[in-house]
Structure 1
């Protein structure tokens, strides 16, 4: 439905796009991603005919869009702009009726087809109840739906959207992309510039990554959103995983806090976990460049398997066994050598209580708290005493702030400089940190 071949667009003497080629199949939802200044908006304007390329070809449904009149091009492709601001006090219905302009002659009368197209667009975008209100009086999320309704009223086979979620809260972001996804499933073809990589991965069939004026990668989200591609395009250290709920590709950007000026590891971190509570922490800290140790953990525990996969120095005990004196001494050695100790949101029983007791001797402790401790305390009063003492001396954070908190601890900054304390929110980690399923394998806990 959309074919772009060797497109070159220049603004003055500067090439903004240089040899861009891509294709979008009919009935696909394709996300256009890339860093700021990569040329996403310029590419959309070239596809809808608003910008003439210096070289190359743009076809919509087999038609060279730059050889068509503006009216003819607007019957093939509609555009939802990035800004939702509408200056004049048109009613919502009047704003949507503007979408019928390409289908009417200069002096043509309003037809029944026009009315049906507008009514259908208002209903499809759930703004029919706003039809008589001025567009200046409705919310940003509602205006976004009005602009989509205007594009729908154009009845084009192709819809272009320029950052449709940029100024919206998460609720309206999801509603907007759900609507576009539904329209595509009904036969519309959509190409959208989307700045949120995780939303793009969840909703789009394919992604096109622009970088350095060219297409760096194109294909399914899992093929485009790789750590190598993200490093090259965004110059960032990122971890790519799967979201535990949706199964979509999930990107977590990491600060480059773990690498010293000479490229050496800038700190040692010992992680106390178990039962899967430390898997993501181990992964993130290792990806950030720290030298990581872990334990004591039961053999077969998810955290132990993750640690081995990452090449982490690990202290283990047999399955279902408690932390014995030898394991405790091994943990003490690693805690003494560590610059920071991280204690995850682990369940605590008599079997792994020694891990907490050893952690209390560390100079710098980051305590990850996602659940109230009484819900995961199976060591009775001894567990409560150890945890409360540990908590008084620790930096307490939610899971999403672990890497930043470790960096702050090494720099001597206060917790408030790096992390939102879990007391200030519900403790759920829904955006920044990839989750891993908890293991059914035992950790040294109450069962020991």
Structure 2
């Protein structure tokens, strides 16, 4: 591939603060590269070095082979267009006039706009979905609409490289997706895009590659899957995180929590799940430093996938198979070994009743997640209703909230178990 952007040992100091420290990276043509990292990591400063607004103290930046520091503003603007993070304007220019400013680098000092310029503006406004705002003052449109207006201005500039600084920060979910879909279309057409993105899931979904910045250095570079790991995220953001594959997009998905792991010996919790009901609780328990086991679930269940992702001990049966004697014996042993058991808001069916019986057959402290009404998730008839009643009577009942589950687990471990005296006990 041909490099579109070459950054060589770039260092930038602002005031007394070293913002970038010998940053080097290469971005190939026709790629969408995301800059991720905590606030103050240097993402915006790196973008300003690429577009020539800021001269590095050391190092160089080349765009399509040309040293940006050797170019005048007009020449640089023919190579690089930028959508800034702040799009506030104190001038009441009509939206179309703002977009037309993108054509300035292509017009001589005494030149006039041509039909090609007008066509470029029309196409840019259409692609950014702001044509209907053409005559409105830019000061009277919403923050999200103004963000799209400045994206249209950058599109009208028709440069080989496009820089985006938090392009979705003021957009609702619909326009976030539409904007990034448009950006990927531009990349497919051959443009190179570098975007500072704070939403890690969006970055993983849309970017071909990521650069993780922290303390002014690139700490990781590569595909989203290789960059967004629990270790790199904890080092950069100071937060525990679990990284899984999103079931719909297939991209990496990050769930981060504050580092609240207990100081004492790690607790062990067995989680009864199924149908994805346990997934948010598994992530939260893992982030809290709890060692989990999971089961019995189907080998292809979403909860099984989550258990594998966090390295949990897993008890499974084949898809659509009932819990057999071997699986029941295994899960009974996991329940007895655990410091606590969490029963997620699972569907109660004949196939998983043996698992619930195993939970009730042990003295292990119990947390029961109470989400959907029993009748909405019970397909095991009277047996299912009895099991749910006994579980609720024995355990700490909490709402379907991951933080509430973690708090209840800690409380349950500190509380002696309540022995089941239900008349339905076997």
Q: TM-score, normalised by structure 2?
A: 0.83
Cα–Cα, structure 1 residues 333 and 363, in superposed 2: closer, same or farther, change >3 Å? Answer: closer
Deviation at 1:321, TM superposition (A): 4.5
SS in 1 for 2:117: helix
Deviation at 1:21, TM superposition (A): 0.8
When residues 356 and 144 of structure 1 are mapped into structure 2, their CA distance, relative to the original with a 3 A threshold, is same
Instruction: Indicate conservation of the 8 Å contact 1:331/1:355, yes or no.
Output: no
Name the CA shift for 1:82/1:197 in 2 (closer, same or farther; >3 Å). same
Give me the whole-angstrom Cα distance separating, in 2, the residues matched to 1:174 and 1:204: 13
Partner of 1:238: 241
| TM-score between the two structures when normalised by the length of structure 1 | 0.79
Cα distance in 2 for partners of 1:298, 1:411 equals 25
> How many Å separate the matches in 2 of 1:313 and 1:31?
35
Contact residue 80 and residue 162 of structure 2 kept, 8 A: yes
Alignment of 1:106-145 (within 5 A): 106-145=109-148
Once the two structures are superposed, the pairs formed by residues 151-300 of structure 1 within 5 Å of their partners are 151-257=154-260, 259-261=261-263, 264-265=265-266, 267-274=267-274, 277-278=277-278, 281-282=281-282, 285-286=285-286, 288-295=288-295, 297=296
Helix, strand or coil for the counterpart of 1:394?
strand
Shift of 1:128: 1.3
Q: Which structure 1 segments of 5+ residues have no match?
A: 414-448
1:231 and 1:209 map into 2 onto residues whose CA distance is 12
- Aligned counterpart, 2:419: none
Q: Structure 1 residues 306 and 20, CA, compared in 2 at 3 Å: closer, same or farther?
A: closer
2:128 and 2:179 in contact (8 A); partners too:
no
Q: Tell me what 1:75 maps to.
A: 78
Aligned to 1:29: 32
- 1:306 Cα deviation (Å)? 7.5
Distance 1:117 1:320, change over 3 A: closer
On the 8 A contact 2:297/2:315 being kept in 1, the answer is no
Question: Secondary structure at the residue paired with 2:87?
Answer: coil
Residues 367-426 of structure 1 show CA distances to partners (whole Å, capped at 9, x for unaligned) of 163x654343222134235436756851121xxx42x2233225669xxxxxxxxxxxxx
Matched residue pairs, number? 401
CA–CA distance in structure 1, aligned partners of residues 185 and 165 of structure 2 = 18
- Indicate if the aligned counterparts of 1:92 and 1:135 stay in contact, CA closer than 8 A: yes
CA contact (8 A) 1:315 1:330 kept: no
Contact 1:316 1:327 in 2 (8 A): no
Q: Deviations over 1:24-52 (max 9, x none)?
A: 11111111111111000000011111111
**Structure 2 counterpart SS, 1:349:** coil
What do residues 165-193 of structure 1 show as CA deviations (whole Å, max 9, x unaligned)?
12222222112111111111122211000
Q: 1:221, 1:144 → 2: CA distance?
A: 26
> Structure 1: how far apart are the matches of 2:279 and 2:287?
12
- Alpha-carbon deviations, 1:316-352, whole Å to 9, x = none? 99x634679x8599479639x634x321232313454
Q: Give, in whole Å, the separation in 1 of the partners of 2:305 and 2:221.
A: 33
Which deviates more, 86-95 or 404-413? 404-413
The match for 1:405 is: 404
Note if contact 1:34-1:40 (Cα within 8 Å) is conserved in structure 2.
yes
**Rounded Cα–Cα distance in structure 2 between residues aligned with 1:46 and 1:299:** 52
* 1:288 shift after superposition: 3.7
**Take 1:58 and 1:136, find their aligned partners in 2: how far apart are those partners?**
35
**Is 2:382 aligned against 1:381?**
yes
SS in 1 for 2:34: strand
- Cα distance in 2 for partners of 1:109, 1:316 equals 73
| Partner secondary structure for residue 145 of structure 2 | helix
Note if contact 1:343-1:368 (Cα within 8 Å) is conserved in structure 2. Answer: no
Identify the residue that residue 345 of structure 1 maps to in structure 2: 345
Say whether the 8 Å CA contact 1:82–1:163 is kept in structure 2: yes
Q: How large is the RMSD of aligned CA atoms in angstroms? A: 3.4
User: CA-to-partner distance for each residue in 1:199-227, whole Å, 9 max, x for gaps?
Assistant: 01111111111112111111111121122
Give the Cα separation in 2 of the matches to 1:235 and 1:36: 12
2-structure distance, mates of 1:364, 1:381: 22
Instruction: Flag the 1:352–1:149 CA change in 2: closer, same or farther, 3 A.
Output: closer
Q: Contact 2:299–2:317 at 8 Å: present in 1 too?
A: no
